[in-house]
Amino acid sequence: MEIFTKAKELADAIAASEELKTLKAAEMQMMMDNDAREIIEEYQSIQQEAMSNGLSYEDLSEDEKAHVEKLEKAMGENANISAFLSANQAFEQILRSVNMIISAGINGQGSCGTDGSCSCSSNASGSCGSCGGGCGSY
């Protein structure tokens, strides 16, 4: 079926993207950094414990909030964690943009180009801003 062929082509293109390569390299670099790995593991442990107890950030004690903030500051100061988070954000933007393009096509709202241009029938400006929420930034 053509849909599955196109889906496989899309998956292959995403897998070969520079954004995913950068993300994987940044993740490897972060995991090789003992300090970064310890910070991430401790942060994730706190997140998992809070989630299993049905707690949100607002529900944490002041000491727990201070500890989370300390870990977040440490993550921001660690170059490998920062590089990973930046690469992750760029990759997620690609996925959001692909989803917007697919959604726009399914909903008959026109199509968005890889340059951010839009062929929305209701949009004379040629921008994706009114094309079902836009296509995201490329």
- Alpha-carbon distances, residue 114 vs 44, 81, 100, 105, 119 (angstroms): 35, 29, 11, 14, 12
- List the structure tokens of 11: 């998956």
Query: Is 110 in a helix, a strand, or coil?
Result: coil
Tell me the domains of the chain and their CATH numbers: 2-95 (1.20.1500.10)
Q: Tell me the pTM.
A: 0.73
Residue-wise pLDDT tens digits, 38-93: 999 999 999 999 999 999 989 989 999 999 999 999 999 999 999 999 999 999 99
118 forms bridges with which residues in the sheet?
112
- List the structure tokens of 138: 């490329």
| Cβ atoms of residues 84 and 29 within 8 Å | yes
Specify the pLDDT at position 123. Answer: 42
Given a cut of 50, whether residue 138 has pLDDT beyond it is no
Element (H, E) at 37: helix 34-52
Provide φ and ψ at 117, rounded to 5°. Answer: -75, 160
